[in-house]
Amino acid sequence: MTNVKGSAFGFLTDVGLFGGPASVRGFGQTIPPGDKKSASPSVTLPAGGSTAGVTKVDSDGAMAQYGPAVIFGGKPPASPDAPLPPSGEIRVSTKGKLSVTSTASVKKVGPGPFTADSVRSTCHASKSGVTASTTITRGVLATATDADGNTTASEVIPSHPPANYTLTGTTGTGDNFKAVFNEQTVNEDGSITVDAVHLYLLGPTAVGEVVVAQSHAGVS
């Protein structure tokens, strides 16, 4: 008997500010503290699998806000006086009965330190093994900013970053962070999980994590 696993979600933030407790927005959130605009689509392959794709789409995107701070949303507009928009479309899918393919994609990712036109993770599992990849379009990581939030150093992210491509940075408020792109984890059951973007917020002001475009697949 073949056991298949597949799932995907658009994003999650699990963050605490100023020493307060962490709370979740996006995948796994409760309402409150999350709300409709911070919800993330997610899919799970049914038992026995599915030859048809199990897909969900959030066409108007999402925004994760913690008080006045937006941790996940869209790319900053050209005008500094314009309000920050939500992300672009979020699409997640999984399918398969003998092999499994799962994908997650998010358009217009921001507000920083990472911004991109789009990010996408894909993973595939079969009896012969597992594979995963990430595609990033016009991705930039601000590795340093001044006290006003202006970027003083940055790195262009490869469109197809190697597995677990890692950079670090510091914000103008003195916070430190680590960013991992195409973060791949092979689990104990042989399945694979890939996060297109995984930000580790190391504080001292903001502590927690941001995951964008996660997909998961396994066959046993």
Tally of domains within the chain: 1
- Confidence bin at 118 (pLDDT 50/70/90): very high
Query: What is the distance in angstroms between the CA of the first residue and the CA of the last residue of the chain?
Result: 8
Query: What are the tokens at 109?
Result: 């990712």
Of 160, 110, 116, 158, the residue nearest 135 (C-alpha): 160
Q: What is the pTM of this model?
A: 0.96
- The predicted-structure confidence for 29-39, as pLDDT tens digits, reads as follows 999 999 999 99
Q: What is the pLDDT of residue 172?
A: 86
- The predicted-structure confidence for 146-185, as pLDDT tens digits, reads as follows 988 889 999 999 999 999 999 999 998 899 999 999 999 9
- Confidence bin at 124 (pLDDT 50/70/90): very high
Write out the residue range of the structural domain in which residue 73 sits. Answer: 4-219
Give the integer Cα–Cα distance in Å for 66 and 13: 10
How many C-beta atoms lie closer than 10 Å to residue 36's C-beta? 7
Q: What is the mean pLDDT of the chain?
A: 96
Give the integer Cα–Cα distance in Å for 50 and 165: 32
**How many Cα atoms are found within 13 Å in the side-chain-facing hemisphere of 93?**
15
